[in-house]
Structure 1
Amino acid sequence: MTWPERILGVLAPLAAAVIWGGMYVVSKWGFGAIPPVTLGFLRVALGAVALVAVVAHSGATRTPTRTDWRGFTGLGALVTATIVTQFVGTDLTTASQGSLLTVATPVATLLLAAVVVDERLTRAKVAAVGLATVGTALVVADGGLDGSLDPAGVTALLGASVAWAGYTVWGKPLVARFSALETATYASVTATPMLALLAAGELWLLHRPLSSLPTDPAVLAAVAYLGFFATAAAWYLWYKGLEYVDAGTVSVLFVAQPLVGTALGAALLGERVGPWFLVGGTLLLAAVVVVGRARS
């Protein structure tokens, strides 16, 4: 691997993590207009349309086999689980809590990579798991930034971390056979009908027809950001890193997401940071640093 490729393997997923930091603030605001699962569906559907257009323009000629499509469908299911638990969890907590609690993703990715693709689990990685466990406990015990943490919200956000870890690890072989662009595209395409069914169920339970959703410029801008940037661009950039480095290394770069999300949540939504929340968040970030130093 050349040095420029190594740099790209780091910068691409790092940029994705920065975009996702802003996603929590945008989505938290958007839930006031569109229910969370429905907003997740619109996000992924728009992202899928954008990615399909790019793939068509790129002239990609590889045709997935039935086995490949089963793999893409599996990734789509993991994407669906991530979107639903992530958005529902954020709706039940705050933007800062949502961005920080999902920093458990790197640890979940390292553990899953050790089981699935035999990535070596060193003492440093075990120490990182311990730090992350204590950090998460302190975040929960702190009671959040503005009031108490909702147990269902915490559970959903931690579930989102595990689901995204699966998307990262099981996506690696498909990225190697196809490309970051094609893998992100086909995963989003297979996730779209799954999310459509869940969104339809959500709107039916809430007695809100699709025609009742607001279409003012601010809401459309939020959906566009989530679709074009937080989905199409960020998912491609995340998988682009997997073209050059392993899943564990890419997962370390997720640290930028909670930093950006917490900062924006405090700056734009007035969310306050409690002392134990900061201590727990610091331990979570320390876990990622320990892993990063061990892999460097």
Structure 2
Amino acid sequence: MKQPVLASFYLSLAAGIWGGMYVVSKYVLDYIPPFTLVWLRYAIALIVLAAIAAAKRERPPKSGRDWGMVIAIGIIGYIVSISLQFVGTKWSNAHTASLITASTPAFVVLFARWLLGEALTWRKTSALLLATSGVIVIVGLGGGGESTLAGNMALVGAAVTWALLSVLVKIASARLSVLSITMYAIFTAFIGMTPMMLAEGPGLAASHWSVPVALGVLYLGVVSTAGAFFLWNKGMEMIDAGIGSLFFFFQPLVGSFFGWLLLHEELAASFWLGGALIVAGVAVAVRSEQSA
């Protein structure tokens, strides 16, 4: 059953958590290698979700089809997409990464049309254009440092795979609980990320631990991974995928705000104009969902 208001809350909260996550990640990554950090995030999230599933007596997927769907979500979204984000950001620049990442909702709309048969209405298109324009206003169209074709292609791949994840979650939620989907997909990713973590060399042994670093890792595992992944998947279950994807645009908005609040980064007038366009786009989309 569609519940656009509650879905909006879940998706806004998830995107907001991810937007603020970059401030914490920026600090923790000075002490822990990237793939080791992702592996730790998944390990902590898995413990949290498994405890909740045990308390609720959650049953695992039964059929091979259901297992295949959950494993696909884990591989496509939580291994491939996350890895491509790391590679793309390393070989590109933050400015280009922001613009390419902003294409994710457009890919969701296309996948939703293809796999779910969701209608591409003029309101949905208008909302997508408004929100995308907001991101472009915030980050600008000028250059932001060197980038490579390989890095940019990796970022496009990350956007496409995360979009596919969002649609696959909606398909899977018709047969499985969101808790099961999230937990077993993260378990798949935890297994898949283990070789990458080991390939980083010393990894955990070379990490410089302190109380702030440990708290940062816990926050990333419990809140940004277990909590936000569940909220995003739950929200996508309760609303059209094409509309739900627009809440992805809240990430750069919240990230910029926390950068100003905690890192004392300056906010130009373009931030407020772009933010208004993003909010307007999401509002148009949700209004169309309520009147549907």
TM-score w.r.t. length of structure 1:
0.81
Instruction: State how far apart, in whole Å, the 1-side matches of 2:151 and 2:258 are.
Output: 20
1:110 equivalent in structure 2: 109
Instruction: Report the AA paired with residue 79 of structure 2.
Output: T
Q: Assess, with a 3 A threshold, how the Cα gap between structure 1 residues 211 and 198 changes in structure 2: closer, same or farther.
A: same
2:67 equivalent in structure 1: 69
Shift of 1:52: 1.3
Instruction: Report the AA paired with residue 256 of structure 2.
Output: T
Instruction: Report the AA paired with residue 196 of structure 1.
Output: T
Q: Assess, with a 3 A threshold, how the Cα gap between structure 1 residues 277 and 35 changes in structure 2: closer, same or farther.
A: farther
1:219 equivalent in structure 2: 213
Shift of 1:277: 7.8
**Matched-pair contact (CA < 8 Å) for 2:33–2:203:** no
Shift of 1:49: 1.8
1:188 equivalent in structure 2: 186
Query: Of the candidates 162, 168, 171, which is equivalent to residue 160 of structure 2?
Result: 162
Cα RMSD (Å) of the superposition?
Answer: 3.2
Shift of 1:238: 1.3
Cα-to-partner distance string for 1:196-241 (whole Å, 9 max, x where unaligned)? 112222x13xxx3431112211111111111000110111111222
**Secondary structure of 1:84 counterpart:** helix
**Secondary structure of 1:177 counterpart:** coil
Instruction: Report the AA paired with residue 26 of structure 1.
Output: V
Instruction: State how far apart, in whole Å, the 2-side matches of 1:272 and 1:72 are.
Output: 42
Q: How many residues align?
A: 286
Instruction: State how far apart, in whole Å, the 1-side matches of 2:154 and 2:182 are.
Output: 23
1:229 equivalent in structure 2: 223
Q: Assess, with a 3 A threshold, how the Cα gap between structure 1 residues 46 and 107 changes in structure 2: closer, same or farther.
A: same
Q: Structure 2 regions of 5+ residues with no counterpart? A: none
2:37 equivalent in structure 1: 39
**Matched-pair contact (CA < 8 Å) for 1:100–1:258:** no
**Matched-pair contact (CA < 8 Å) for 1:16–1:234:** yes
Query: Of the candidates 247, 260, 264, which is equivalent to residue 241 of structure 2?
Result: 247
Instruction: State how far apart, in whole Å, the 2-side matches of 1:93 and 1:220 are.
Output: 28
Asked if 1:60 is matched to 2:54, the reply is no
1:26 equivalent in structure 2: 24
Instruction: State how far apart, in whole Å, the 2-side matches of 1:69 and 1:42 are.
Output: 24
TM-score w.r.t. length of structure 2:
0.82
Asked if 1:142 is matched to 2:142, the reply is yes
**Matched-pair contact (CA < 8 Å) for 1:89–1:154:** yes
Shift of 1:53: 1.5
Cα-to-partner distance string for 1:23-71 (whole Å, 9 max, x where unaligned)? 1111122221112222112112211221112111111235432221111
**Matched-pair contact (CA < 8 Å) for 1:100–1:281:** no
Instruction: State how far apart, in whole Å, the 2-side matches of 1:244 and 1:187 are.
Output: 19
Q: Percent identity of the aligned residues? A: 38
**Matched-pair contact (CA < 8 Å) for 2:131–2:246:** no
Shift of 1:291: 4.0
Moved more, 186-195 or 148-157: 148-157
Shift of 1:89: 4.8
Instruction: State how far apart, in whole Å, the 2-side matches of 1:271 and 1:156 are.
Output: 28
**1:251-290 pair list within 5 angstroms:** 251-272=245-266, 288=282, 290=284
Instruction: State how far apart, in whole Å, the 2-side matches of 1:277 and 1:7 are.
Output: 26
Q: Assess, with a 3 A threshold, how the Cα gap between structure 1 residues 52 and 16 changes in structure 2: closer, same or farther.
A: same
**Matched-pair contact (CA < 8 Å) for 1:97–1:262:** no
**Matched-pair contact (CA < 8 Å) for 2:61–2:67:** no
**Matched-pair contact (CA < 8 Å) for 1:241–1:250:** yes
1:7 equivalent in structure 2: 5
**Secondary structure of 1:141 counterpart:** coil
Cα-to-partner distance string for 1:151-191 (whole Å, 9 max, x where unaligned)? 56655444333222111101112212111111111110111
